[in-house]
Amino acid sequence: MKKSFLPEEYHSSIHHVLISEQEIQAAVRKTGEQISRTYEGKPLLLVSILKGSFVFLADLCRAVRIPCEIGFMGAKSYTGTVSSGKVEITLDLEQDIRAYHVLIVEDIVDTGITLQQVVKMLKERHPLSLRVISLLDKPKRRIVDWHPDQALFSIPDVFVIGYGLDCEEQYRNLPYIAVYEESSEKSALS
């Protein structure tokens, strides 16, 4: 069941800013330049895994100075069946990726289950090339032998919100990455 929305809890749950708006924007600009150099003259398809990566994709694609196309996919992993690594594709790409160099744009790699499955599935469609870039990486939480080709920031094992990442669909519009803390836990500790 979805939590009721209380403004005071909303603000007190933003524990502290982990990565500032300025740090994110600088890293995104640099990454956009790298992508522009790497894929110059090549058919590039940026694939956003919804919903968490929509903000990162929106900024990153505007930092890319070469022609590119955008695609969207939806993927859901089941935490209750972590060992089985079951991932459901809730929205599939429109493009036939055999004609593209595909760059998957992800918000965060945690256990690695979601991306490992998505990459496996897309490789079977024979793109010209396939790479994964993630805004955040939580290497301590990895339970499968898979890593993104590039991550802009490596973070500790904390639950983060903002810049597209949510908690119960809230906080996606924060311009920074913050550590989330349950208000109830906070008051129990104080």
Residue 159 interacts with ligand 5GP (CB under 6 A)? yes
Helix (H, G, I), strand (E, B) or coil at 60: helix
Task: Supply 67's token pair.
Answer: 């022609």
Residue 161 interacts with ligand 5GP (CB under 6 A)? yes
The answer to whether 36 touches 66, Cβ cutoff 8 Å, is: yes
Measure the CA angle with vertex 152, ends 36 and 12; round to 5°. 135
Choose one: 16-24, 25-33, 104-112, 181-189; the region binding ligand 5GP (CB under 6 A). 104-112
Please give the residues from 116 up to 155 whose contact with ligand 5GP meets the rule CB under 6 A: none
Whole-number minimum distance, CB 131 to ligand 5GP, in Å? 17
Using the rule CB under 6 A, which residue among 45, 114, 135, 152 binds ligand 5GP? 114
Kindly tell me which of 64 and 113 has the beta carbon lying closer to ligand 5GP: 113
Is 110 a known active-site residue? Answer: yes
Kindly tell me which of 128 and 167 has the beta carbon lying closer to ligand 5GP: 167
Using the rule CB under 6 A, which residue among 46, 73, 107, 163 binds ligand 5GP? 107
Q: Count Cβ atoms below 10 Å from residue 1 Cβ, excluding itself.
A: 4
Residue 60 interacts with ligand 5GP (CB under 6 A)? no
Residue 5 interacts with ligand 5GP (CB under 6 A)? no
Angle between helix 54-63 and 21-38 (nearest 10): 60
Helix (H, G, I), strand (E, B) or coil at 7: helix
Residue 113 interacts with ligand 5GP (CB under 6 A)? yes
> What does the alpha-carbon distance between residue 75 and residue 115 come to, in Å, rounded to a whole number?
9
> What does the alpha-carbon distance between residue 123 and residue 97 come to, in Å, rounded to a whole number?
9
> What does the alpha-carbon distance between residue 24 and residue 42 come to, in Å, rounded to a whole number?
27
Kindly tell me which of 43 and 85 has the beta carbon lying closer to ligand 5GP: 85
Residue 162 interacts with ligand 5GP (CB under 6 A)? no
Those residues whose C-beta lies under 8 Å from the C-beta of residue 103, and which sit 6 or more positions away, are 35, 39, 44, 45, 46, 47, 131, 132, 133
Residue 52 interacts with ligand 5GP (CB under 6 A)? yes
Contact set with ligand 5GP (CB under 6 A)? 52, 77, 107-114, 159-161, 165-167
Catalytic residue numbers?
110
